[in-house]
Amino acid sequence: MTRLSVNLNKIAVLRNSRGGGEPDMLRAARACLDAGAHGLTLHPRPDARHARADDVMALAGLASGRGLELNLEGNPFAAPRPGYPGFIALCREARPAQATLVPDDDGQLTSDHGFDFVRDRARLAPIVAELRALGCRVSLFADAHADSSAGGAAIEAAAATGANRIEIYTGPFAEGHAAGSATGALAACAETARRARAAGLGVNAGHDLSQSNLADFLAAVPGVEEVSIGHALIGEALYEGLAMTVRRYLALL
C-alpha cells in the first residue's frame, strides 16, 4: 500500500496571513493522524512564509510520540538567516524520518522542478551522507524524463549520491490529467520509477496530486511507496473537513 504523508504548509500559510496561532498546526496534524494518515510533511522555506522552525519541532515531537514519520523538505543549499537555521541544522535538531531535498530558489512560489543529478551529484553526495548519518532516509526531488537516455543517466547519478529514494515531481502529470492528455506524462513517470527501482532507489511522488487524479497515477505507476499531498488535500478539506478528506485519500490508496 502506498503511504500518505499530509503536507501541512497551507495550514501555516493561513495562520501566518492573520498572525497568532489559528488555525493551529498541531490540531490540524492530530486530525490528519487520527484519520489514519501515515505521516506528516513540512517544507519550511528560508523566508518563513508558511512552516517555521518552531512548527518543525512541534510536529517532530507529535510524529515521534505516535511512532509515525515526519518528512522534512527543503533546499540544503539555501543559506541560514534569522529565523531559519538552514535545512541540515533543522534536520539535526528534529531528526525527521525522511529528508526530501528539493532545488527550489528563495523566491520560488512552489517546487516546480527536480535536481539536475548529473550536474549536482558531487555536491549532493556529502549532504546525503550527513543526513543518513543522522538517521534520516533521504529522498531527492526528481523530474520524470520522457527521454530514456537522459532519464537513465539522471537516475544513475541520483543513485550515486547515496540517496534512498527519489520523489517524482508530478506537476506535469497533474496538468496533463486536468487537460485530458496525461498519457505522455504518465509514461515518463512510470519509466522513471522503473529505472529508479532498478537502480535500488525507492519511489515517492508528489505535487498537485488530488482525489481526481491520484488513482489514475498509481494505476499507471506501480510500486510508489509514499505520496506527499498538501495543497489539494487542504483545499478539499475546506468543503468536507480534514478527517473525511484524509479518509477519502486512504480509500484511494
177 is catalytic: no
Given the residues 50, 145, 177, 207, the one annotated as active site: 207
Catalytic entry in 69, 73, 191, 236: 73
Choose, from 38, 43, 50, 145, the residue flagged as catalytic: 43
Give average pLDDT by consecutive 10-residue segment, the chain, 253 residues. Answer: 97 96 98 98 94 97 97 96 95 98 78 88 98 98 82 93 98 97 96 97 98 98 97 96 97 97
The pLDDT score that the predictor gives to residue 108 is: 63
Is residue 175 part of the annotated active site? The answer reads no
Active site residue 113: no
Beta strand residue intervals within 9-136, DSSP E: 39-42, 69-74, 98-101
- Model confidence pTM above 0.85: yes
Domains and CATH numbers, the chain: 3-252 (3.20.20.70)
**Which residues have C-beta within 8 Å of that of residue 32, sequence separation ≥ 6?**
6, 8, 40, 242, 243, 246
Give pLDDT, residue 109: 61
**Residue 113 confidence (pLDDT):** 80
CA angle, 232 then 211 then 52, to 5°: 25
Q: Cell 532498478 appears where? A: 198
